Amino acid sequence: MKKVLIILILTLMRIDMNAQAPGDASVKQQIRKRFPKGTIHLGGSSTSKKREGIIWHYYYWRHFSLTQKDPASGLTGKINSALVYEKINGKYVFDNYATITTEVIGKKPLNKTEVIKYLKSNLSDFLGYDYNYIVGDMPVISIPEDTKFNWASPDQVTFKVKAIYTKKISNSIVEKAEHIYETMLFKDPNTGKWNRILASEIEGQKKILSKGNFSSNMKTLQELDEAKASAAAISSLPAVDNPPVFKSDKQLFYYIHDRLMASPPQEAKAHLYKVLSKDSFQNGSGLKPYTQMWFDKLINNLKSYQYTFCQYPQVKDEQTGAIYFYNKDKSKFVRMTASQENGTWKLDVIDFYPPSQDLVNKLAKTHGNCTGKPNLSVKEKVDFKIGDMVDVKTRYGVESGEIIKRDTNFANRFFVKFQNGKSIWVTDDVLSPSKYTKTNLKVGDHIVVKMQSGDFEGKIIAIKQTKALIKWHKQGYQNQWISLDHLTKK
């Protein structure tokens, strides 16, 4: 039986080997099913085989190329491929197309003026991350004279672009430099217009031209775009006052809550636009999708917000950059988040989930769970340094001393030596500048005090703020507190 099976397989193989290859007309007809346009150039043929178990599969390859001219660019694209046929029952049956490669014939330079115009109108896509930090003049874009245009297809080309711009590289420094970008442009095959950019800066080719100081009045291209987008949106809204400079996130949260409670929808929109963070905006094209979503939900349900919250609501929770306000019956809450930006606080998100109409009707008639006006004052931050005289709040009261050193791991922690000789580590939240000046006198010093009856000598045995406790050298005199200003070191 085994011998018969082997003979049968060999017989089938001989039949397949003698199969006739498809003619040129049949090959071209098959090519047109996938490539209806272009000039077909038939090439040579080859064969291959592949084994699956005890069965061999035999294939016939007919190679071809196809060229087609792109009217927009004037370039001719060339496709290189092959038709693959499998021998089955003595006939060639089409199987698939081989891997396709492309090339461009008759390359020619781009219209540089047209390309530069396109790059300038899509700067954020072209420059990527750097776009957010460019200040001053608009970037100068040019194509070097020796640039080569490498076409992967009539709709895709790669070349080098030179860009000169000033960039913010730290909070205090700007840098003007020449950058070289490897740039790839893609064209819409239907319209013949450029519609996509991929670009990356070539490492090691940047030339620094100059450096300077950054100032807060310098605006980045991103910030200017956001201002334009915000101004365009606000232009159709009622005029409202500009917000103050917020010294804390809490000041911002209560400010915007107050405006939401007291304003009709269009005015509320205007107030929101003026306090939104820069991350809320797309580059020059309005709000980001997520921002637009919560923004619209809040404005479209503004009456529900006004009916269900107090003017001064109870706080469910708060942390730096976020607060949660309870509604009137504490069944729901609204979350606001913010971030610091250019010396003030800006709004990131208001998460408000509209309540049911039944709850709105109920809370519209109640005034429960409300609080009084909060204290929003902010303690001015003082930059303490070594040698400063400070007052320190301790559990024993306020004591004066001198900052001796600063913690290298925690910038807000200081080592203070009191005038009574004791020392302690404290954080800046218990410090305030002292009205007392630094004195060189210390416990143990021998001093002289000028009095009407003459000079009296003694020894300092304690110091507290502006006074020292003196133990007199003369017998019969009790210890006495004397102002430091009246003491002279002996």
- What band does 442 get if pLDDT is binned at 50, 70 and 90? confident
In the predicted model, is pLDDT for residue 220 greater than 90?
A: no
Residue 151, strand partner residues: 157
pLDDT at 382: 77
pLDDT at 430: 85
Distance CA 185, CA 159 (A): 9
Please give the average per-residue pLDDT across 420-433, as a whole number.
84
- What band does 414 get if pLDDT is binned at 50, 70 and 90? very high
Distance CA 421, CA 442 (A): 7
Distance CA 248, CA 252 (A): 7
Question: Residue 32: what residue type?
Answer: R
pLDDT at 421: 72
pLDDT at 14: 44
Distance CA 37, CA 45 (A): 23
More confident residue, 3 or 388: 388
pLDDT at 104: 72
Exposure of 88 in the CB half-sphere (CA atoms within 13 A): 6
Query: Which DSSP string do the residues of 110-122 spell out, in sequence order?
Result: --HHHHHHHHHHT
In the predicted model, is pLDDT for residue 423 greater than 70?
A: yes
112-143 residue pLDDT tens: 888 999 999 899 889 988 888 999 889 999 99
Show the CA angle centred on residue 202, arms to residues 199 and 206, nearest 5°.
120
443-481 residue pLDDT tens: 888 988 877 777 889 999 988 777 889 998 888 888 988
pLDDT at 15: 41
pLDDT at 77: 78
Distance CA 347, CA 249 (A): 9
In the predicted model, is pLDDT for residue 46 greater than 80?
A: yes
Asked if 425 contacts 431 with a C-beta cutoff of 8 angstroms, the reply is: no
Distance CA 260, CA 306 (A): 7
SS3 letters across 325-390: EECCCCCCEEEEEEEEECCEEEEEEEECCCCCHHHHHHHCCCCCCECCCCCCCCCCCCCCCCCCEE
Per-residue exposure over 444-483, b if at least 16 CB sit within 10 Å of its own CB, e if not? eeebebeeeeeebebbbeebebbbbbbeeeeeeeeeeebe
Q: What's the full length of the chain, in residues? A: 490
In the predicted model, is pLDDT for residue 311 greater than 60?
A: yes
Distance CA 468, CA 462 (A): 6
Q: 3-class DSSP state for residue 244?
A: coil
Asked if 454 contacts 442 with a C-beta cutoff of 8 angstroms, the reply is: no
Please give the average per-residue pLDDT across 312-334, as a whole number.
94
Please give the average per-residue pLDDT across 178-187, as a whole number.
93
In the predicted model, is pLDDT for residue 436 greater than 50?
A: yes
Q: 3-class DSSP state for residue 257?
A: helix
Closest by CA position to 11, among listed 85, 90, 93: 90
Cβ-based neighbours of 452, under 8 Å, separated by 6 or more: none
In the predicted model, is pLDDT for residue 176 greater than 60?
A: yes
CA distances from 264 to 2, 241, 365, 379 (A): 92, 15, 20, 34
Please give the average per-residue pLDDT across 217-225, as a whole number.
81
Distance CA 119, CA 196 (A): 10
Asked if 40 contacts 11 with a C-beta cutoff of 8 angstroms, the reply is: no
pLDDT at 5: 44
Cβ-based neighbours of 61, under 8 Å, separated by 6 or more: 45, 46, 47, 48, 82, 83, 84, 85, 98
pLDDT at 291: 93
Predicted TM-score (pTM) of the model is 0.44
Question: Residue 59: what residue type?
Answer: Y
What is the average pLDDT score of the chain?
Answer: 86
Asked if 413 contacts 420 with a C-beta cutoff of 8 angstroms, the reply is: no
162-174 residue pLDDT tens: 999 999 988 889 9
348-398 residue pLDDT tens: 999 999 999 999 999 998 877 789 899 888 766 778 888 888 888 887 788
CA distances from 402 to 370, 411, 414, 460 (A): 45, 17, 10, 18
Exposure of 309 in the CB half-sphere (CA atoms within 13 A): 30
